[in-house]
Structure 1
Amino acid sequence: MAGSIATAAALVGAVSSAAAPQDEGQNRDADPGTDQADRATANKTNPIAVSTYSYWRYRDDSKLSIEECIDLAADTGFDAVEILHVQMQDESNATLQRIKQLAFRRGMSLCGFSTHQSFVSPDAAKRQEAIDHTNHCIELAYAMGIPTIRVNTGRWGTSGSFDELMKNKGIEPRLEGYTDDDGFKWVRDSLEQCLPTAEKCGVVLGLENHWGLGRTADGVLRVVGEVDSPWLRVTLDTGNFLEDQYAQYRQLAPEAVFVQAKTYYGGGTWYTLEIDYNEVAAILKAANYRGYISLEFEGKEAHETAIPKSLQMLRNAFANA
């Protein structure tokens, strides 16, 4: 359509130039419609969502239901909600449709589904369990009208607890007798078995920089490059790079289909990062990322005050990018 308009404008310009002289230097091919479209794109800001994780946070004193999180998000002024899968208490179709209807009635999109799996295991049966689980999560997302799910590479599991993993900045020893190349092959082969379901349902898998083999941008991009499918892209989490964070954001931004934005008001649960969201917004704008920014509040402050502050900060950063 844009090409047809430009061609028509050029023909009109040619006829006009034959009928009347024009001032030297005047743009004969100017297309007001294209200029307006460019300005509209430049002025469009990223929609700001919130993950239900921001309210739930694995804390005993904040186990809100997904429906309660949607209501709170709508009342606070978010554009959309990302659902944390492990928070779901009921996966029946009636519940999925009730969640979808509630979001619709509150004027909210359901924009993402944050899932957990690990494909890093020498045990083929365990990898198959993770494949089956991921395919199931794709179908849950489809039932709720959600266009993307967060997936993980998984990790070696030699750290014991997650707290221990965090103390070691996400670094853990490999399983004895295996290499990273073994792990990457398991991840690649497993994700390839999820692609038919993703394509059938129209749900993009967003591989997150989430510890394990996906701890670095290089690791995430290695998997995405080796799988080489439009149904596997990147979920960029601003809080999961503990070194060279802005350089790694730049690496992932061109492949991102979803962005999770961490904030830490009151101090982080495991650590606190200083994140300049003006810089993050500039990086994403340079990569022409126009998708959702989903808040993952991971601080100790009460959500009643921390989440509205986070929303305002993110709105300001992305409006000024």
Structure 2
Amino acid sequence: MKIGLSSYSLFAAMKTGEMTILDVIDWTSEQGFEHIEIVPNLGFAWEDDHLIDQVRERAAEKGIEISNYAIGANFLQPTEEDYQAEIQRVKKEVDIAHRLGAKLMRHDIASRGIPETTIANFEKDLPSLVNACQEVADYAHQYGITTSIENHGYYIQQSDRVQSVINHVDRGNFKTTMDVGNFLCADESPLAAVQKNIAFASMVHIKDFYQRPAHLNPGEGWIPTIAGNYLRSAIIGHGDIPMREVLRVIKASDYDGYVSIEFEGLEECKLASKLSLTNLKNMWQEI
């Protein structure tokens, strides 16, 4: 297992100007992470083409791999013209992933508000979502890039919906970036969901959450789940996810790829990321 960091984990430091994406790469290497996942538009943006090359070169200089390139996308568009434009935009992002030297790329595919995350809407939207994913995966194939969908954004967050998309797309280079914590946003047991989806994973995100039931609304800093419960991102090992059991499932599986720490909580982001690395390494050795 190669443990790395999502650049999103240091979003707070980039947002305030304390760090640039190049600083993030330096810091990630200095802490002993083996790879970095690049997530643009969350903390930094591609100001020009030179930055793409600078990111690739800095990672090589620091001796860490660029494991995954993760972007937002939404193939639920109001018109056919907008739908086609979004597909073409994501293909251009594939070109960026190639320039970075990444062989994995996660793109979102759809977003709906919680009241609209019904199975009826999912079944209605599925054909157009599958077509878009097929086009992007086929385009990425020329570069040897595997594209993926994350259990993310409420609408396609449950393990079964993720599997449905993967099975319908039916491409060898289309899998899932499996976030072990995000299943909680759909009120699904992370342990059960990881057991279901680890076989489909091209990338694994390790994230922890604090949980509170719907009747104990803790207020600011917490996000709602589909069922109205509440979550707050935690330092790995500090939250309520049975992390050792989740890691045991991953360790017992055939998965031998990148594992990326993702933190988005209220604690100071550098300290939280460093503690998460230490805790993850310790738990992995214990199981």
Name the TM-score, length of structure 2 as normaliser. Answer: 0.83
More strand by share: 2
Q: Which runs of 5+ in 2 are unaligned?
A: 211-219, 224-230, 233-238
1:29 corresponding residue in structure 2: none
Separation (CA, whole Å) in 2 of partners of 1:114 and 1:274: 26
Q: Which amino acid aligns with 1:259?
A: V
Letter in 2 for 1:298: E
Instruction: Tell me by how many angstroms 1:120 deviates.
Output: 2.4
Secondary structure, in 3 states, of the residue corresponding to 1:235?
A: strand
How many angstroms does 1:174 deviate by? 5.8
What is the deviation of 1:244? 1.8
Distance 1:133 1:63 in 2: 30
Q: CA deviation at 1:320?
A: 3.3
Distance 1:62 1:262 in 2: 25
Q: How far does residue 50 in structure 1 lie from its aligned partner after superposition?
A: 0.4
Report the equivalent of 1:317: 283
Give the 5 Å matches for 1:10-89. Answer: 46-57=1-12, 60-61=15-16, 64-86=19-41, 87-89=43-45
Cα distance change on mapping 1:57 and 1:137 into 2, 3 Å: farther
Q: Provide Cα deviations, 1:187-232, integer angstroms capped at 9, x if missing partner.
A: 1011111122210111111210012431111111101001111111
Matched, 1:302 2:258: no
After the TM superposition, which segments of 4 or more aligned residues of structure 1 sit over 4 Å from their partners?
57-60
Pairwise CA RMSD: 2.3
**Residues of 1 paired with 2:69 and 2:198: CA distance?**
19
Check conservation: 1:269, 1:300, Cα contact below 8 A. no
Question: For residues 190-201 of structure 1, what are the structure 2 equivalents within 5 Å?
Answer: 190-201=132-143
Which TM-score applies when normalising by structure 1?
0.75
Query: How has the CA–CA distance of structure 1 residues 75 and 143 changed in structure 2, closer, same or farther, with 3 Å as cutoff?
Result: same
Q: What's the CA shift for 1:137?
A: 1.2
Q: Are 1:146 and 2:108 matched, yes or no?
A: no
Q: How many positions carry a matched residue from both structures?
A: 260
Once the two structures are superposed, what CA deviation does each residue of 1:103-144 show, in whole Å capped at 9, x if it has no partner? 111111110111100112352222222211211111101001
Following TM superposition, by how much is the alpha carbon of 1:295 offset from its aligned partner in structure 2, in angstroms?
A: 0.8
Shift of 1:264: 5.5
Percent identity at matched positions? 25
SS at match of 1:313: helix
Compared with structure 1, are the counterparts of its residues 292 and 62 closer, same or farther at alpha carbon in structure 2 (3 Å cutoff)?
farther
Unpaired stretches in structure 1, ≥5 consecutive residues: 1-45, 160-170
Which digits, 9 at most, give the CA deviation of each residue in 1:154-194, with x for residues without a partner? 123xx3xxxxxxxxxxx33269xx83222111110111111
Which stretch of the first structure deviates more once superposed, 275-284 or 291-300?
275-284
Alpha-carbon distance in structure 2 between the residues aligned to 1:60 and 1:51: 15
Larger Rg: 1
CA contact (8 A) 1:208 1:234 kept: yes
Going from structure 1 to structure 2, the CA distance change for 1:212 and 1:276 (only over 3 Å counts) comes to closer
Query: 1:57: Cα distance to partner?
Result: 4.6
Residue 203 (str. 1) matches residue 149 (str. 2): no
Q: Distance in 2 between matches of 1:172 and 1:57?
A: 30
**What is the one-letter code of the residue matched to 1:227?**
V
User: Do the aligned partners of residues 59 and 69 (structure 1) sit closer, same or farther apart at CA in structure 2, a change above 3 Å counting?
Assistant: closer
Cα 1:228–1:57 shift into 2, 3 Å: farther
Does structure 2 conserve the Cα–Cα contact (< 8 Å) formed by 1:117 and 1:134? yes
Q: Supply the distance in 2 between the matched residues of 1:174 and 1:293 (Cα, whole angstroms).
A: 29
Q: Which moved more, 1:94-103 or 1:305-314?
A: 94-103
2:166 maps to 1:224: yes
Letter of the 2:284 partner, please give it.
Answer: F
Residue of structure 2 equivalent to 1:173: 116
